[in-house]
Structure 1
Amino acid sequence: MQSSTLTCDLTMIRYFEDYEYFEDGDIIIGGVFTVNRYMKRFSKHPMKIISYRQCLLPRAIHYKNLLAFFLSIQDINTESKILPNATLGYHVYDSCSDEMKAVKSILQILSGPGKTIPNYSCTEGGKLAGVIGDHYSITTIPMAQILGVYRYTQINYGATSLILSDRNVYPTFFQTMQNNQDNYSVLSKLLKYFGWTRVRIFASDDDMGEEETQVL
Protein backbone atom coordinates (compact mmCIF):
# COMPACT_ATOMS: atom_id res chain seq x y z
CA MET A 1 0.00 0.00 0.00
CA GLN A 2 1.47 3.30 -1.06
CA SER A 3 1.90 6.02 1.53
CA SER A 4 0.07 9.28 0.92
CA THR A 5 2.91 11.21 2.53
CA LEU A 6 4.79 13.46 0.11
CA THR A 7 8.50 12.76 -0.17
CA CYS A 8 9.24 16.30 -1.33
CA ASP A 9 7.64 19.31 0.34
CA LEU A 10 7.35 22.59 -1.50
CA THR A 11 7.57 25.94 0.22
CA MET A 12 4.07 27.21 0.86
CA ILE A 13 3.23 30.89 0.79
CA ARG A 14 0.55 32.05 3.19
CA TYR A 15 -0.93 35.49 3.63
CA PHE A 16 -2.10 36.75 7.00
CA GLU A 17 -4.94 38.56 5.26
CA ASP A 18 -6.06 38.25 1.65
CA TYR A 19 -8.12 41.45 1.66
CA GLU A 20 -10.81 39.78 -0.43
CA TYR A 21 -14.11 41.48 -1.25
CA PHE A 22 -16.85 39.47 -2.94
CA GLU A 23 -20.45 40.21 -3.89
CA ASP A 24 -22.40 37.88 -6.15
CA GLY A 25 -24.34 39.14 -9.16
CA ASP A 26 -25.48 38.26 -12.66
CA ILE A 27 -22.29 39.83 -14.05
CA ILE A 28 -19.02 39.80 -12.09
CA ILE A 29 -16.38 42.52 -12.36
CA GLY A 30 -12.96 41.49 -11.11
CA GLY A 31 -10.65 44.00 -9.48
CA VAL A 32 -7.06 44.13 -8.27
CA PHE A 33 -6.23 47.36 -6.46
CA THR A 34 -3.14 48.52 -4.64
CA VAL A 35 -4.21 49.68 -1.18
CA ASN A 36 -1.33 48.47 0.99
CA ARG A 37 2.00 49.60 -0.42
CA TYR A 38 4.45 47.10 1.09
CA MET A 39 4.69 43.32 1.39
CA LYS A 40 6.64 41.95 4.36
CA ARG A 41 8.11 38.47 3.94
CA PHE A 42 9.22 36.19 6.76
CA SER A 43 9.17 32.56 7.92
CA LYS A 44 8.30 31.22 11.37
CA HIS A 45 8.80 27.56 10.52
CA PRO A 46 12.23 26.12 11.55
CA MET A 47 12.57 24.32 8.20
CA LYS A 48 11.38 27.43 6.32
CA ILE A 49 8.88 25.39 4.33
CA ILE A 50 6.17 27.95 5.04
CA SER A 51 6.75 31.52 3.94
CA TYR A 52 4.44 34.12 5.43
CA ARG A 53 3.57 37.43 3.81
CA GLN A 54 1.84 40.41 5.30
CA CYS A 55 0.51 43.52 3.57
CA LEU A 56 1.55 46.74 5.27
CA LEU A 57 1.45 50.53 4.84
CA PRO A 58 -2.06 51.27 3.53
CA ARG A 59 -2.37 54.61 1.75
CA ALA A 60 -5.52 56.74 1.79
CA ILE A 61 -5.00 57.91 -1.81
CA HIS A 62 -5.06 54.27 -2.97
CA TYR A 63 -8.01 53.39 -0.76
CA LYS A 64 -10.06 56.03 -2.57
CA ASN A 65 -9.72 54.04 -5.81
CA LEU A 66 -11.21 50.99 -4.10
CA LEU A 67 -14.08 53.02 -2.64
CA ALA A 68 -14.78 54.58 -6.05
CA PHE A 69 -15.08 51.06 -7.49
CA PHE A 70 -17.59 49.97 -4.84
CA LEU A 71 -19.65 53.15 -5.19
CA SER A 72 -19.76 52.76 -8.99
CA ILE A 73 -21.07 49.20 -8.67
CA GLN A 74 -23.67 50.39 -6.16
CA ASP A 75 -24.81 53.27 -8.38
CA ILE A 76 -25.18 51.01 -11.43
CA ASN A 77 -27.21 48.46 -9.47
CA THR A 78 -29.42 51.20 -8.02
CA GLU A 79 -30.21 52.71 -11.42
CA SER A 80 -32.39 50.12 -13.15
CA LYS A 81 -32.14 51.83 -16.54
CA ILE A 82 -28.40 51.09 -16.87
CA LEU A 83 -28.60 47.29 -16.55
CA PRO A 84 -32.27 46.30 -16.57
CA ASN A 85 -32.99 42.87 -15.08
CA ALA A 86 -29.32 42.35 -14.20
CA THR A 87 -27.08 43.11 -11.24
CA LEU A 88 -23.34 43.66 -11.05
CA GLY A 89 -21.25 41.73 -8.58
CA TYR A 90 -17.54 41.94 -7.87
CA HIS A 91 -14.52 39.91 -6.80
CA VAL A 92 -11.74 42.20 -5.60
CA TYR A 93 -8.30 41.81 -4.04
CA ASP A 94 -5.53 44.07 -2.76
CA SER A 95 -2.28 43.38 -4.65
CA CYS A 96 -0.23 45.10 -1.93
CA SER A 97 2.03 46.28 -4.79
CA ASP A 98 3.47 42.76 -5.02
CA GLU A 99 3.75 40.79 -8.28
CA MET A 100 3.14 37.36 -6.71
CA LYS A 101 0.11 38.65 -4.82
CA ALA A 102 -1.26 40.19 -8.02
CA VAL A 103 -0.86 36.89 -9.91
CA LYS A 104 -2.48 34.95 -7.06
CA SER A 105 -5.36 37.42 -7.04
CA ILE A 106 -5.97 37.06 -10.79
CA LEU A 107 -5.91 33.26 -10.61
CA GLN A 108 -8.33 33.40 -7.69
CA ILE A 109 -10.71 35.69 -9.58
CA LEU A 110 -10.63 33.37 -12.59
CA SER A 111 -11.31 30.34 -10.37
CA GLY A 112 -14.02 32.00 -8.30
CA PRO A 113 -14.46 32.14 -4.50
CA GLY A 114 -12.81 29.29 -2.63
CA LYS A 115 -9.69 27.34 -3.54
CA THR A 116 -7.60 28.56 -6.47
CA ILE A 117 -7.65 26.03 -9.33
CA PRO A 118 -5.87 27.17 -12.53
CA ASN A 119 -7.80 26.62 -15.78
CA TYR A 120 -11.00 25.86 -13.88
CA SER A 121 -13.85 28.09 -12.70
CA CYS A 122 -15.60 27.02 -9.50
CA THR A 123 -18.05 29.91 -9.49
CA GLU A 124 -21.76 29.09 -9.56
CA GLY A 125 -22.90 32.70 -9.82
CA GLY A 126 -22.49 35.36 -12.46
CA LYS A 127 -20.07 35.32 -15.36
CA LEU A 128 -16.81 37.26 -15.15
CA ALA A 129 -16.97 40.17 -17.61
CA GLY A 130 -13.52 41.66 -17.10
CA VAL A 131 -11.00 43.00 -14.60
CA ILE A 132 -10.04 46.47 -13.41
CA GLY A 133 -6.51 47.13 -12.13
CA ASP A 134 -3.83 47.66 -11.08
CA HIS A 135 -2.26 50.99 -10.13
CA TYR A 136 1.40 50.17 -10.82
CA SER A 137 3.00 48.66 -13.92
CA ILE A 138 4.99 46.15 -11.85
CA THR A 139 1.78 44.34 -10.86
CA THR A 140 -0.27 45.20 -13.94
CA ILE A 141 2.09 43.52 -16.44
CA PRO A 142 1.85 39.94 -15.06
CA MET A 143 -1.91 40.41 -14.69
CA ALA A 144 -2.20 41.46 -18.34
CA GLN A 145 -0.14 38.46 -19.46
CA ILE A 146 -2.53 36.03 -17.76
CA LEU A 147 -5.75 37.80 -18.76
CA GLY A 148 -4.55 38.05 -22.37
CA VAL A 149 -4.26 34.26 -22.55
CA TYR A 150 -7.85 33.80 -21.37
CA ARG A 151 -9.06 36.78 -23.44
CA TYR A 152 -10.55 38.70 -20.54
CA THR A 153 -10.72 42.46 -20.90
CA GLN A 154 -8.52 44.41 -18.47
CA ILE A 155 -9.06 48.12 -17.89
CA ASN A 156 -6.20 49.86 -16.13
CA TYR A 157 -6.30 53.12 -14.20
CA GLY A 158 -2.67 53.80 -13.29
CA ALA A 159 0.05 51.80 -15.08
CA THR A 160 2.05 53.79 -17.63
CA SER A 161 4.61 51.31 -18.99
CA LEU A 162 5.23 51.59 -22.73
CA ILE A 163 5.25 47.83 -23.28
CA LEU A 164 1.57 47.63 -22.28
CA SER A 165 0.73 49.45 -25.52
CA ASP A 166 1.83 46.42 -27.57
CA ARG A 167 -1.42 44.94 -28.90
CA ASN A 168 0.32 41.75 -30.05
CA VAL A 169 1.43 40.93 -26.51
CA TYR A 170 -1.47 42.44 -24.56
CA PRO A 171 -4.51 42.11 -26.86
CA THR A 172 -7.17 42.63 -24.17
CA PHE A 173 -5.48 45.40 -22.16
CA PHE A 174 -6.79 48.97 -22.19
CA GLN A 175 -5.32 52.03 -20.47
CA THR A 176 -7.18 55.07 -19.16
CA MET A 177 -3.93 57.00 -18.70
CA GLN A 178 -1.30 57.97 -21.25
CA ASN A 179 1.93 56.01 -21.18
CA ASN A 180 5.34 57.40 -20.30
CA GLN A 181 6.32 58.25 -23.89
CA ASP A 182 5.34 61.93 -23.51
CA ASN A 183 7.32 62.25 -20.29
CA TYR A 184 10.43 60.82 -21.92
CA SER A 185 10.00 63.13 -24.91
CA VAL A 186 9.81 66.23 -22.69
CA LEU A 187 12.90 65.20 -20.72
CA SER A 188 14.86 64.60 -23.92
CA LYS A 189 13.91 68.03 -25.29
CA LEU A 190 14.89 69.64 -21.97
CA LEU A 191 18.35 68.05 -22.11
CA LYS A 192 18.79 69.16 -25.71
CA TYR A 193 17.63 72.72 -24.97
CA PHE A 194 20.19 73.24 -22.20
CA GLY A 195 22.89 71.43 -24.14
CA TRP A 196 23.63 68.97 -21.36
CA THR A 197 25.95 66.22 -22.55
CA ARG A 198 26.48 64.41 -19.25
CA VAL A 199 23.51 63.32 -17.19
CA ARG A 200 22.80 60.70 -14.56
CA ILE A 201 19.66 58.62 -14.76
CA PHE A 202 18.14 57.37 -11.52
CA ALA A 203 15.74 54.49 -12.04
CA SER A 204 14.29 51.61 -10.05
CA ASP A 205 16.08 48.26 -10.17
CA ASP A 206 13.38 46.41 -12.11
CA ASP A 207 11.91 46.07 -15.60
CA MET A 208 10.32 49.50 -15.39
CA GLY A 209 13.62 51.12 -14.50
CA GLU A 210 15.35 49.30 -17.35
CA GLU A 211 12.69 50.48 -19.78
CA GLU A 212 13.00 54.11 -18.64
CA THR A 213 16.79 54.04 -18.93
CA GLN A 214 16.75 52.53 -22.43
CA VAL A 215 14.16 54.97 -23.79
CA LEU A 216 15.93 58.02 -22.38
Structure 2
Amino acid sequence: MSDKSDTDISEEEAARHAAKMAKKKAARDRMMQNKDGEKGLIIVHTGPGKGKSSSGFGMIMRCIAHGMPSAVVQFIKGAWQTGERTLIEENFSDLCQFYAMGEGFTWETQDKARDIAAAQKGWEKAKEMIRDERNTMVLLDEINIALRYDYIDIADVVDFLETEKPPMTHVVLTGRNAKEELIEIADLVTEMGQIKHPFRQGIKAQKGVEF
Protein backbone atom coordinates (compact mmCIF):
# COMPACT_ATOMS: atom_id res chain seq x y z
CA MET A 1 0.00 0.00 0.00
CA SER A 2 1.39 3.40 -1.01
CA ASP A 3 2.03 6.07 1.65
CA LYS A 4 1.29 8.80 -0.93
CA SER A 5 -1.94 10.68 -0.25
CA ASP A 6 -4.27 12.23 -2.83
CA THR A 7 -2.97 15.67 -1.86
CA ASP A 8 0.70 14.88 -2.53
CA ILE A 9 2.08 16.51 -5.69
CA SER A 10 5.43 16.35 -7.36
CA GLU A 11 7.95 19.18 -7.30
CA GLU A 12 7.36 19.63 -11.04
CA GLU A 13 3.58 19.98 -10.53
CA ALA A 14 4.15 22.41 -7.65
CA ALA A 15 6.46 24.51 -9.80
CA ARG A 16 3.98 24.61 -12.69
CA HIS A 17 1.16 25.62 -10.35
CA ALA A 18 3.27 28.37 -8.73
CA ALA A 19 4.23 29.75 -12.15
CA LYS A 20 0.59 29.73 -13.30
CA MET A 21 -0.59 31.52 -10.16
CA ALA A 22 2.24 34.08 -10.46
CA LYS A 23 1.06 34.94 -13.99
CA LYS A 24 -2.52 35.28 -12.77
CA LYS A 25 -1.44 37.56 -9.92
CA ALA A 26 0.63 39.74 -12.26
CA ALA A 27 -2.34 40.08 -14.64
CA ARG A 28 -4.66 40.89 -11.73
CA ASP A 29 -2.24 43.48 -10.34
CA ARG A 30 -2.04 45.18 -13.77
CA MET A 31 -5.83 45.24 -14.00
CA MET A 32 -6.15 46.82 -10.54
CA GLN A 33 -3.43 49.46 -11.04
CA ASN A 34 -5.79 52.19 -12.19
CA LYS A 35 -8.83 51.12 -10.15
CA ASP A 36 -8.45 53.17 -7.01
CA GLY A 37 -11.45 55.47 -7.38
CA GLU A 38 -14.56 55.45 -5.19
CA LYS A 39 -18.09 56.74 -5.79
CA GLY A 40 -21.59 56.21 -4.57
CA LEU A 41 -23.09 53.50 -6.76
CA ILE A 42 -26.55 53.03 -8.21
CA ILE A 43 -27.13 49.28 -7.84
CA VAL A 44 -30.04 47.37 -9.39
CA HIS A 45 -31.05 43.82 -8.45
CA THR A 46 -33.70 42.53 -10.85
CA GLY A 47 -34.84 39.42 -12.70
CA PRO A 48 -37.34 36.60 -12.07
CA GLY A 49 -35.14 34.64 -9.67
CA LYS A 50 -35.10 34.67 -5.88
CA GLY A 51 -32.47 36.67 -3.98
CA LYS A 52 -32.92 40.30 -5.01
CA SER A 53 -34.04 41.63 -1.62
CA SER A 54 -31.82 39.12 0.19
CA SER A 55 -28.78 40.49 -1.61
CA GLY A 56 -29.79 44.06 -0.85
CA PHE A 57 -30.16 43.28 2.85
CA GLY A 58 -26.82 41.52 2.79
CA MET A 59 -25.27 44.83 1.70
CA ILE A 60 -27.12 46.67 4.46
CA MET A 61 -25.74 44.21 7.02
CA ARG A 62 -22.24 44.84 5.70
CA CYS A 63 -22.72 48.57 6.26
CA ILE A 64 -23.98 47.90 9.77
CA ALA A 65 -20.98 45.64 10.46
CA HIS A 66 -18.66 48.49 9.41
CA GLY A 67 -20.53 51.00 11.59
CA MET A 68 -21.77 52.87 8.51
CA PRO A 69 -25.24 54.46 8.82
CA SER A 70 -27.81 53.27 6.30
CA ALA A 71 -31.55 53.20 5.62
CA VAL A 72 -34.18 50.87 4.19
CA VAL A 73 -37.43 51.89 2.51
CA GLN A 74 -39.73 48.96 1.66
CA PHE A 75 -42.30 49.62 -1.06
CA ILE A 76 -44.39 46.43 -1.20
CA LYS A 77 -43.81 44.10 1.73
CA GLY A 78 -44.52 46.72 4.37
CA ALA A 79 -47.41 44.74 5.82
CA TRP A 80 -45.12 41.76 6.53
CA GLN A 81 -43.06 41.44 9.70
CA THR A 82 -39.98 40.07 7.99
CA GLY A 83 -36.92 38.65 9.74
CA GLU A 84 -34.64 41.38 8.41
CA ARG A 85 -37.01 44.09 9.65
CA THR A 86 -37.18 42.54 13.12
CA LEU A 87 -33.40 42.11 13.29
CA ILE A 88 -32.65 45.68 12.26
CA GLU A 89 -35.35 47.38 14.33
CA GLU A 90 -34.57 45.42 17.50
CA ASN A 91 -30.77 45.43 17.28
CA PHE A 92 -29.42 48.03 14.87
CA SER A 93 -31.87 50.93 14.84
CA ASP A 94 -29.02 53.26 15.80
CA LEU A 95 -27.26 52.45 12.53
CA CYS A 96 -30.11 51.69 10.13
CA GLN A 97 -33.43 53.51 9.76
CA PHE A 98 -36.16 51.15 8.56
CA TYR A 99 -39.37 52.36 6.88
CA ALA A 100 -42.00 49.85 5.75
CA MET A 101 -44.19 51.97 3.47
CA GLY A 102 -46.13 49.38 1.47
CA GLU A 103 -49.38 47.64 2.39
CA GLY A 104 -48.74 44.34 0.66
CA PHE A 105 -48.86 43.14 -2.92
CA THR A 106 -51.26 44.86 -5.31
CA TRP A 107 -53.46 41.78 -5.59
CA GLU A 108 -53.94 41.85 -1.82
CA THR A 109 -54.92 45.50 -1.41
CA GLN A 110 -57.06 45.54 -4.60
CA ASP A 111 -57.11 49.31 -4.32
CA LYS A 112 -55.02 51.07 -6.96
CA ALA A 113 -55.43 54.53 -5.43
CA ARG A 114 -54.13 53.28 -2.07
CA ASP A 115 -51.24 51.49 -3.77
CA ILE A 116 -50.24 54.63 -5.66
CA ALA A 117 -50.48 56.77 -2.52
CA ALA A 118 -48.35 54.30 -0.54
CA ALA A 119 -45.74 54.09 -3.31
CA GLN A 120 -45.48 57.84 -3.66
CA LYS A 121 -45.22 58.26 0.11
CA GLY A 122 -42.45 55.69 0.05
CA TRP A 123 -40.63 57.58 -2.70
CA GLU A 124 -40.79 60.81 -0.71
CA LYS A 125 -39.26 58.99 2.28
CA ALA A 126 -36.64 57.46 -0.02
CA LYS A 127 -35.60 60.89 -1.28
CA GLU A 128 -35.34 62.12 2.28
CA MET A 129 -33.06 59.21 3.22
CA ILE A 130 -30.89 59.60 0.11
CA ARG A 131 -30.46 63.33 0.61
CA ASP A 132 -29.19 62.68 4.14
CA GLU A 133 -25.45 62.41 3.53
CA ARG A 134 -24.97 60.58 6.82
CA ASN A 135 -26.41 57.49 5.13
CA THR A 136 -23.76 55.47 3.35
CA MET A 137 -26.36 53.24 1.68
CA VAL A 138 -30.10 53.39 1.07
CA LEU A 139 -31.98 50.23 0.06
CA LEU A 140 -35.20 50.79 -1.88
CA ASP A 141 -36.68 47.32 -1.55
CA GLU A 142 -39.15 46.28 -4.29
CA ILE A 143 -39.27 49.78 -5.78
CA ASN A 144 -39.07 48.21 -9.24
CA ILE A 145 -42.54 46.75 -8.75
CA ALA A 146 -43.95 50.19 -7.99
CA LEU A 147 -42.13 51.55 -11.04
CA ARG A 148 -43.39 48.71 -13.22
CA TYR A 149 -47.00 49.63 -12.46
CA ASP A 150 -46.21 53.35 -12.94
CA TYR A 151 -47.14 54.12 -9.34
CA ILE A 152 -43.99 56.24 -9.31
CA ASP A 153 -42.74 58.23 -12.30
CA ILE A 154 -39.55 56.61 -13.61
CA ALA A 155 -38.44 59.96 -15.07
CA ASP A 156 -38.62 61.50 -11.59
CA VAL A 157 -36.57 58.65 -10.09
CA VAL A 158 -33.90 58.82 -12.78
CA ASP A 159 -33.65 62.60 -12.58
CA PHE A 160 -33.36 62.53 -8.79
CA LEU A 161 -30.66 59.85 -8.78
CA GLU A 162 -28.68 61.70 -11.45
CA THR A 163 -28.96 65.19 -9.99
CA GLU A 164 -29.61 64.98 -6.25
CA LYS A 165 -28.02 61.79 -4.95
CA PRO A 166 -24.93 62.72 -2.92
CA PRO A 167 -21.71 61.63 -4.69
CA MET A 168 -20.72 59.03 -2.09
CA THR A 169 -24.14 57.54 -1.29
CA HIS A 170 -24.93 54.04 -2.56
CA VAL A 171 -28.54 53.39 -3.60
CA VAL A 172 -29.77 49.81 -4.08
CA LEU A 173 -33.03 49.26 -5.99
CA THR A 174 -34.60 45.79 -6.01
CA GLY A 175 -37.49 44.06 -7.71
CA ARG A 176 -38.14 42.23 -10.96
CA ASN A 177 -38.76 43.97 -14.30
CA ALA A 178 -36.47 46.93 -13.71
CA LYS A 179 -37.17 49.74 -16.16
CA GLU A 180 -34.67 50.22 -18.97
CA GLU A 181 -34.20 53.86 -17.97
CA LEU A 182 -33.03 52.74 -14.55
CA ILE A 183 -30.73 50.06 -15.93
CA GLU A 184 -29.19 52.68 -18.23
CA ILE A 185 -28.04 54.95 -15.40
CA ALA A 186 -27.06 52.18 -12.97
CA ASP A 187 -23.42 51.42 -12.16
CA LEU A 188 -24.10 47.80 -11.22
CA VAL A 189 -26.96 45.64 -12.49
CA THR A 190 -27.50 42.03 -11.51
CA GLU A 191 -30.26 39.90 -13.03
CA MET A 192 -31.29 36.98 -10.86
CA GLY A 193 -32.25 33.98 -13.01
CA GLN A 194 -34.68 31.27 -11.99
CA ILE A 195 -33.91 27.63 -12.67
CA LYS A 196 -36.03 25.94 -9.99
CA HIS A 197 -38.36 27.28 -7.32
CA PRO A 198 -40.14 25.30 -4.56
CA PHE A 199 -43.36 27.27 -5.13
CA ARG A 200 -43.89 25.20 -8.28
CA GLN A 201 -43.77 22.08 -6.10
CA GLY A 202 -46.51 23.39 -3.82
CA ILE A 203 -44.17 24.77 -1.16
CA LYS A 204 -45.29 28.05 0.42
CA ALA A 205 -43.03 30.96 1.43
CA GLN A 206 -41.17 29.98 4.59
CA LYS A 207 -39.56 31.82 7.50
CA GLY A 208 -35.83 32.22 7.14
CA VAL A 209 -35.98 31.65 3.38
CA GLU A 210 -38.43 34.16 1.96
CA PHE A 211 -39.05 36.42 4.97
Q: What TM-score results when the alignment is normalised by the length of structure 1?
A: 0.27
Higher helix share: 2
Higher strand share: 1
Q: What TM-score results when the alignment is normalised by the length of structure 2?
A: 0.28
Larger radius of gyration: 2
